[in-house]
């Protein structure tokens, strides 16, 4: 829902803020008062290109800002999440056009690109008039209208899952084929490197363990010399620590007999003797394992040298070397079995193409049935809305695939496809008797497009997900009885959407829930446009003016009251 629209220093508008309501919002005003300026400003928020000519004379920039209630709009929520923009139930979109040529766009105070602004607008507003934002004039949206009408989300989701699986497999196939030539070129190199590394077959952290063992072997003579020295100092020489400690123990034992206080010292000395004995035993045990092995020493030096050479050549560390070996091993195995890999993947893709084709065909059948119903409903509604001799048709076709790999298969035939299936949907229309059906986007004028959209939206009303519809020229070329029916359609549609309609016709204005008047006034030798929400009495007066012109009579006022009353009663009945 569009809650408010704020416009500042835009064309003839100095500063206005419009608070919109639920249901049908009617905007009227004399020709040239500035109604089209409101639509142009709204289009800026929907991503349309802008010129600095719109900046009001004497101002440095134009500002257009709108606040939307997007509480239930999951499409907007997901889009903002994808672009890392904070989501809130109140969405604020702002556009600034400066005389300096700068063009800034904001969503919830976050600067965004014009493309993102336009993409967001597609999920918020459908604007119908002489503007490019009409979804009906974009052929790619026609299939969405049809899918919204049949509303079979289960069939669509089954296809979309198959579509995603197939595309992932095709992406994998493309990746393999991109690697194919490169892998073949490197196969001989990988074979040489694998043999070179496997000739040494280093194990994880082996370089560290060899270095530690080499350090011992290279110092074995010194180790033997030092361990002998320790043994002599502690135990195996005249005047060694063990003998001296034992003599001290004898003296302390004698002292203990004289004075019991030497007991603790004697215990500590005994502990020292035990410790010296243990240290000496450990040293001798270590010494017994040390051997002078020049052949083993040389063998280990050569292996460490071979490992270091591989490390230097393939990554700088043993871990990097082993990781590289695993990588090229996998690449070499792939190269050796490349054709098998490709053939296995192609078999799986063939099966998934058929599966996706079956789901697409199921979805297509549903669309053909829906097309019959929507054609009948829209044709009937168009007749009611004053395009009585028209013919409306939903054209569904499938395009055979060319000689590529991106296709799906149904009954042994290959078709182009996208995320919606293999159907191409386009609306065709004939506006007059005897005319051939032609693409809608080529034959309908602005007012006719608005009425066609009104007919289409009436059929889709409950299922359509777009919350806000704006109609600018829906009353072009109609009057009287048809206008009454257009107004009634708008009112019915406003039960499911917020509608904003600009009109010149009292028969349409009488159906409004809220009525706004755009006026043009002269202040300080300048023309300024303004807009205001009318009270009930002001609304009666404005509709009376639409009936009789500026000179309002009692009869036209009475007619206006009756028109409003009849419109509301008619709307309730429908």
Residue range 91-150, pLDDT digits in tens = 999 999 999 878 899 999 999 999 999 999 888 888 876 544 567 778 888 998 898 888
pLDDT score at 471:
86
The string of pLDDT tens digits covering residues 232-277 is 888 888 888 888 889 898 888 988 888 888 899 989 999 998 998 8
Q: The tokens of 200 are what?
A: 């040494």
Here the tokens at position 272 are 């020292």
Per-residue pLDDT of 372-384, as tens digits, reads 999 998 888 888 8
pLDDT: which is higher, 488 or 132: 488
For 152, phi and psi rounded to 5 degrees? -95, 80
**Rg of the chain over all Cα atoms, to the nearest angstrom:** 44
Q: What is the per-residue pLDDT for 64? A: 95
DSSP 173: H
Q: What percent of the chain has pLDDT over 70?
A: 96
Least confident of 160-169, 287-296, 301-310: 287-296
Q: What are 329-346's pLDDT values in tens digits?
A: 888 887 777 778 888 999
338-352, 354-368, 536-550 — most confident range: 354-368
By three-state DSSP, how is residue 518 classified? Answer: strand
pLDDT of amino acid 97: 93
pLDDT band at 515 (very low <50, low <70, confident <90, very high): very high
- State the span(s) of the chain assigned CATH 3.40.50.300: 1-124+466-574
- In the predicted model, is pLDDT for residue 207 greater than 90? no
Q: Which two tokens stand for residue 285?
A: 């045990």
**Residue 394 confidence (pLDDT):** 94
Q: What is the pLDDT of residues 433-447, one digit of tens each?
A: 888 898 888 876 666
Q: What is the pLDDT of residues 41-73, one digit of tens each?
A: 898 998 888 888 899 988 999 999 999 999 888
CATH 3.40.50.300 fits 1-124+466-574, yes or no: yes
Cα–Cα distances (Å) from 422 to 70, 147, 399, 530, 553, in that order, read 32, 13, 7, 50, 61
Which pLDDT does position 537 carry in this prediction?
94
State phi, psi for 470 to the nearest 5 degrees: -120, 125
Q: How far apart are CA 472 and CA 42, in angstroms?
A: 11
Question: Residue 301 has what pLDDT?
Answer: 85
* Lowest-confidence segment of 207-211, 281-285, 337-341 by average pLDDT: 337-341
d(CA 240, CA 233): 5
The DSSP string of 217-254 is HHTHHHHHHHHHHHHHHHTSSTT-HHHHHHHHHHHHHH
1: pLDDT strictly greater than 70: yes
Tokens of 141: 């949206």
Q: How many Cβ atoms sit within 10 Å of the Cβ of residue 399?
A: 12
Whether 75 contacts 465, CB under 8 Å: yes
pLDDT level of residue 573 (50, 70, 90 thresholds): low
* Helices 294-313, 318-336: inter-axial angle, 10-degree rounding: 60
> Is pLDDT above 60 for 36?
yes
């Amino acid at each position: 829902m569009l809650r408010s629209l704020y416009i500042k220093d835009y064309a003839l508008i100095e500063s206005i803020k419009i608070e919109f309501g639920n249901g049908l919002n009617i905007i009227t005003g004399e020709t040239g008062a500035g109604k089209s300026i409101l639509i142009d400003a709204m289009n800026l928020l929907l991503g349309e290109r802008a010129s600095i000519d719109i900046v009001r004379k004497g101002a440095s920039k134009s500002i257009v800002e709108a606040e939307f209630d997007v509480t239930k709009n999951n499409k907007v929520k997901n889009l903002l999440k994808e672009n890392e923009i904070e989501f809130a139930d109140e969405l604020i979109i702002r556009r600034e056009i400066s005389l300096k040529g700068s063009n800034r766009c904001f969503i919830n105070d976050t600067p965004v690109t014009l493309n993102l602004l336009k993409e967001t607008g597609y999920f918020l507003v459908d604007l119908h008039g002489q503007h490019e934002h009409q979804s009906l004039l974009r052929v790619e949206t026609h299939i969405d209208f049809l899918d919204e009408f049949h509303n079979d989300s289960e069939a669509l989701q089954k296809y979309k899952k198959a579509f995603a699986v197939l595309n992932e497999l095709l992406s994998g196939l493309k990746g393999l084929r991109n690697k194919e030539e490169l892998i073949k070129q490197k196969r001989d190199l990988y074979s040489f490197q694998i043999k070179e590394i496997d000739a040494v077959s280093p194990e994880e952290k082996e370089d560290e363990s060899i270095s530690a063992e080499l350090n011992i072997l290279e110092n074995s003579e010194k180790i033997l010399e030092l361990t002998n020295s320790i043994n002599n100092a502690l135990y195996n020489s005249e005047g060694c620590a063990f003998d001296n400690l034992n003599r001290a123990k004898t003296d302390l034992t004698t002292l203990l007999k004289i004075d019991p206080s030497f007991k603790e010292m004697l215990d500590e000395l005994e502990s020292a003797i035990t410790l010296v004995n243990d240290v000496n035993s450990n040293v001798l045990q270590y010494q017994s394992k040390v051997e002078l092995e020049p052949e083993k020493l040389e063998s280990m030096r050569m292996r460490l040298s071979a490992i270091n050479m591989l490390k230097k050549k393939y990554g700088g560390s043993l871990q990097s070397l082993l990781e590289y070996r695993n990588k090229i091993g996998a690449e070499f195995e792939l190269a050796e079995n490349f054709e098998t890999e490709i053939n296995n993947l192609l078999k799986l893709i063939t099966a998934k193409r058929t599966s996706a084709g079956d789901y697409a065909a199921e979805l297509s059948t549903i669309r053909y049935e829906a097309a019959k119903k929507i054609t009948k409903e829209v044709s009937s509604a168009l007749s009611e809305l004053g395009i009585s001799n028209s013919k409306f048709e939903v054209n569904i076709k499938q395009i055979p695939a060319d000689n590529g790999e991106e296709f799906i298969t149904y009954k042994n035939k290959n078709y182009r496809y996208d995320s919606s299936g293999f159907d191409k949907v386009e609306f065709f229309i004939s506006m007059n008797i005897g005319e051939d059906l032609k693409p809608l986007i080529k034959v309908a004028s602005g007012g006719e497009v608005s009425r066609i959209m009104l007919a289409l939206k009436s059929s889709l009303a409950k299922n359509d997900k777009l919350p806000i519809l704006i109609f600018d020229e829906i009353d072009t070329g109609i009057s009287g009885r048809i206008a009454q029916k257009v107004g009634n359609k708008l009112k019915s549609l406003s039960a499911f959407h917020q509608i904003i309609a600009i009109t010149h016709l009292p028969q349409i204005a009488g159906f409004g829930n809220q009525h706004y008047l755009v006026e043009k006034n002269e202040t300080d030798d300048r023309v300024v446009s303004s807009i205001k929400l009318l009270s009930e009495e002001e609304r009666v007066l404005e509709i009376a003016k639409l009936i009789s012109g500026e000179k309002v009579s009692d009869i036209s006022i009475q007619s206006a009251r009756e028109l409003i009353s009849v419109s509301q009663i008619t709307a309730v009945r429908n």
